[in-house]
Amino acid sequence: MKIGILTSGGDCPGLNAVIRGFAKYVFNNIKDAELIGITEGYLGLIEKEARKMQPSDFSGILNVGGTILGTKRTPFKKMTEEDQNGRSRLDLMKKNYKALGLDVLVTLGGAGTHKTAALLSSEGLNVVGIPKTIDNDIWGTDVTFGFHSAVDIATECIDRIHTTAASHGRTMLIELMGNKVGWLTLYAGVAGGADIILIPEIPYNPDTVVKMVKRRLDSGKAFNIIAIAEGAMSKAEAKMKKTERLEYRGGRATGTEMLAKYIEENAEVETRVVVPGHLQRGGAPSPYDRFLSTEMGSFAGELVKRGNFGVTVAMRDNHVTYNKLSDIAGKTKSVPENDQRVAMARAIGIYFGDEA
């Protein structure tokens, strides 16, 4: 059996651990298995950049960040368009799948990767996905690998900001990744003891944020920690189109700087913005993610062995399982309005900026 494997989209801790878990399962359980590593995601399939991999390639990578296969973002929209030479990218991927003699393609990636995986599956290719992303926004799985490592890193950032915020009596805004959802900020915010958590799913009122900052200062606390998601927006911004929002923010992709300035002027406190950025995606996976990645990778191997294609691995209620690619592609798992974790955070006095 000839199995192609690729990693696509933004990287995250755990990709190598999944690749290793998958390879180990395959070499131990599928007779005559051959693994073909496709480089730089779908671009490698489009360009037929691939190499045969040996069991030794998967040694010593469990705790190594990044991906040994390399990755690229190839937006889904582009998949159905022609490349600069007038060739259909979709046709090239189908042609190269055949030319490489693949029996199945295993794709590790986030939401966009899954959309392309579903497209390839609908075009007749055998595909098995594995859900990766620090954003934790893939539909149908309780958790994605990479998420908890990012939570650990983001939490450590908040911990470190705490001490400097306290020393200076400042209001610190820590802008965390997560794309259009607030999972990472919610988890790291709670774990890091943030006073205010702002996420895209709960648009905030800047005046409410100012009020909450002042309230804490009036109660004798000298500093404030605000965990703000990169996708967070005020109630006014939430009504705007993306381009209008960009203009309103003076060309900035996020509203964090604007909010910091607003708080500084209206609560009369010193503010600072900290953006950990890609630090949240770098370095070794946490032990939790090493385990989860190994479990997901190994289970993907089992799906391949069973010939269960057109699916992606998922974790539900602590059980590793799968979803049909066609059921989850194009959907986003956001923080629900009535999420019990949000309710818990509110109950212990964390503000979300929408309070009356």
Interface with ligand F6P by CB under 6 A: which residues? 10, 73, 110, 133-135, 177-179, 230, 281
Considering beta carbons, is residue 144 or 171 the nearer one to ligand F6P? 144
From the CB of 110, what's the least distance to ligand F6P, in Å?
6
Q: What are phi and psi of 60, to 5 degrees?
A: 70, 20
Considering beta carbons, is residue 37 or 200 the nearer one to ligand F6P? 200
311-316 sheet: strands from edge to edge: 50-53, 34-38, 2-7, 104-109, 127-131, 311-316, 319-324
| Helix and strand element counts for the chain (H, E) | 14, 11
From the CB of 134, what's the least distance to ligand F6P, in Å?
5
**Which residue in the list 32, 83, 103, 135 is annotated as catalytic?**
135
Q: Let me know if 135 is a catalytic residue.
A: yes
From the CB of 181, what's the least distance to ligand F6P, in Å?
9
Distance CA 155, CA 184 (A): 10
Considering beta carbons, is residue 6 or 134 the nearer one to ligand F6P? 134
Considering beta carbons, is residue 144 or 208 the nearer one to ligand F6P? 144
Q: CB neighbours of 306 closer than 8 A, spacing ≥ 6?
A: none
Distance CA 311, CA 166 (A): 49
Considering beta carbons, is residue 96 or 185 the nearer one to ligand F6P? 185
Give me the residue whose beta carbon is nearest to ligand F6P. 177
From the CB of 66, what's the least distance to ligand F6P, in Å?
12
| C-alpha count within 13 angstroms, C-beta hemisphere, residue 229 | 30
From the CB of 56, what's the least distance to ligand F6P, in Å?
30
Q: Which residue has the tokens 């381009």?
A: 243
CA distances from 229 to 85, 172, 289 (A): 39, 13, 22
Coil, helix or strand for 17?
helix
Number of residues that make up the chain = 356
**Hey, which residues are catalytic here?**
135
